[in-house]
C-alpha cells in the first residue's frame, strides 16, 4: 500500500495555484493506488522547532561524541517525528509558490529541520548517502511571471535537496504567469492540471 506526503507551502486563504494543481495530481495518483494513504503537512499550520540553541546542540552532540542532554533529546525527538513523515512516504508532493526566486521561508525552515544525518541521509568516509531511495517526488511549482533558468531557485533547489536525500525520481509541473490577469492565470492552471493528471497516468503505467 502506498503512502503519499503532501507538503503544502502556500499560505491558506490564497487561491493557490500550486495547491490546486497538486490536488489534481494527488486525486489522479490515488485513483491508481488502491488503499493509498495521504499525510498533509502544511508548513504554515505545523509547529516547526527553531533551529538554534538546543536543536543545534542536539544535532552536534553525536559529532562531539557526547550524550544528548534531556532537553536536546526532546528537541531531537521533535525533529525525528517530522522526519519520520518523510521516511514513511513512497511519494512526496511539494506544492510550492515561488517567493523571491526561491521557496517560501517556512518550507526552507521545514527542510532545515528534517534534513539530518541518520534521519534522511547518512554520512561517513564514503561521503553522503541519501536514505530516501524508495521515494519518488513531484514538485508543483507556481510563479507569478515567466522566468529564465538563471534566476530559478525554486524547482532547482527542491531537485538538489531530493538528490541529497536519495530521491532519484523527481518530476516538476510548473504553473507560470499566475499574476498576468484572470484569463492567463486560468489557462496556466488548466494546462498544468492536465499535465499533472497526465503525469499521474504515466506513473500508473509504470513510467
Ligand atoms: C512574498 C512573495 C514573493 C514572490 N516572488 C515572486 C518571484 O520572485 N517571482 C515570481 O514570478 N512571482 C513571485 N511571487 C508571486 C507568486 O509566485 C505567485 O502569486 C504564485 O501564484 C504563488 O503560488 P500559489 O498561487 O500556489 O500561492 C511572489 C509572491 C509573494 C507573496
Atom of ligand 1 lying closest to residue 10 CA:
27
pLDDT for residue 1: 77
16 C-alpha to center of ligand 1: Å? 10
User: How far is Cα 57 from Cα 53, in angstroms, rounded to an integer?
Assistant: 6
In terms of average pLDDT, the best of 49-53, 90-94, 120-124, 201-205 is 90-94
* Residue 44 annotated as binding site: no
Q: Judging by DSSP bridges, how do beta strands 3-8 and 37-42 pair with one another? A: parallel
pLDDT for residue 13: 76
CA pseudo-torsion sign 13, 170, 176, 205: negative
Q: Judging by DSSP bridges, how do beta strands 121-124 and 127-130 pair with one another? A: antiparallel
- Residue range 133-137: average pLDDT? 97
Provide the b/e sequence for 132-142 (b: ≥16 CB within 10 Å): beebbbbbbbb
Residue 34 belongs to domain with CATH number = 3.40.50.360
Alpha-carbon separation of residue 191 from 25, 104, 130 (angstroms): 12, 24, 33
- Its pTM stands at 0.96
Atom of ligand 1 lying closest to residue 104 CA:
1
Sheet holding 169-175, edge to edge: 37-42, 3-8, 91-97, 136-142, 169-175
Q: Are the CB atoms for 186 and 177 separated by under 8 Å?
A: no
Q: How many domains does the chain have?
A: 1
End-to-end CA distance of the chain: 18
Q: Judging by DSSP bridges, how do beta strands 37-42 and 91-97 pair with one another? A: unpaired
10 C-alpha to center of ligand 1: Å? 9
pLDDT band, very low/low/confident/very high, at 149 (cuts 50, 70, 90): low
User: How far is Cα 153 from Cα 103, in angstroms, rounded to an integer?
Assistant: 7
- Residue range 37-55: average pLDDT? 95
**Residue nearest atom 3 in ligand 1 by C-alpha distance:** 99
Note the pLDDT tens digit of each residue in 163-178.
999 999 999 999 999 9
* Residue 196 annotated as binding site: no
Residues with CB under 6 A from ligand 1: 10, 14, 16-19, 97-101, 142-145, 147, 178-179
Which of the listed residues 12, 18, 98 should we mutate to test ligand 1's pocket, taking the one with most ligand atoms within 8 A of CB?
Answer: 98
Note the pLDDT tens digit of each residue in 57-93.
999 998 899 999 999 999 999 999 999 999 999 999 9
20 C-alpha to center of ligand 1: Å? 15
Note the pLDDT tens digit of each residue in 154-164.
999 999 999 99
Average pLDDT, the chain: 95
User: How far is Cα 133 from Cα 90, in angstroms, rounded to an integer?
Assistant: 9
Provide the b/e sequence for 77-87 (b: ≥16 CB within 10 Å): ebbbebbebbb
Cβ burial, residue 149 (10 Å; 0-12/13-18/19+): exposed
Which of the listed residues 7, 144, 149 should we mutate to test ligand 1's pocket, taking the one with most ligand atoms within 8 A of CB?
Answer: 144
Instruction: DSSP letter for 129, please.
Output: E
The residue range of the domain holding 25 is 3-204
pLDDT band, very low/low/confident/very high, at 152 (cuts 50, 70, 90): confident
Amino acid at each position: 500500500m502506498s503512502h503519499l506526503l503532501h507538503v503544502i507551502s502556500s499560505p491558506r486563504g490564497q487561491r493557490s495555484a500550486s495547491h490546486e494543481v497538486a490536488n489534481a495530481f494527488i486525486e489522479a495518483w490515488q485513483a491508481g493506488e488502491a488503499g493509498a494513504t495521504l499525510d498533509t503537512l502544511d508548513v504554515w499550520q505545523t509547529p516547526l522547532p527553531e533551529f538554534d540553541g538546543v536543536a543545534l546542540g542536539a544535532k552536534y552532540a553525536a559529532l562531539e561524541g557526547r550524550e544528548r542532554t534531556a532537553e536536546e533529546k526532546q528537541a531531537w525527538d521533535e525533529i525525528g517525528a517530522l522526519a519520520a513523515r518523510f521516511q514513511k512516504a513512497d511519494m512526496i508532493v511539494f506544492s510550492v509558490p515561488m517567493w523571491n526566486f526561491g521557496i517560501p521561508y517556512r518550507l526552507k525552515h521545514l527542510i532545515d529541520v528534517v534534513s539530518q544525518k541518520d534521519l534522511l541521509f547518512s554520512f561517513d568516509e564514503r561521503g553522503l548517502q541519501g536514505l530516501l531511495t524508495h521515494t519518488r517526488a513531484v514538485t508543483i511549482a507556481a510563479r507569478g511571471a515567466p522566468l529564465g533558468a538563471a534566476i530559478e531557485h525554486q524547482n532547482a533547489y527542491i531537485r538538489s535537496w531530493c538528490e541529497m536525500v536519495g530521491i532519484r525520481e523527481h518530476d516538476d509541473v510548473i504553473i507560470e504567469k499566475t499574476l498576468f490577469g484572470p484569463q492567463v492565470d486560468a489557462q496556466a492552471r488548466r494546462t498544468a492540471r492536465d499535465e499533472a493528471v497526465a503525469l499521474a497516468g504515466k506513473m500508473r503505467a509504470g513510467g
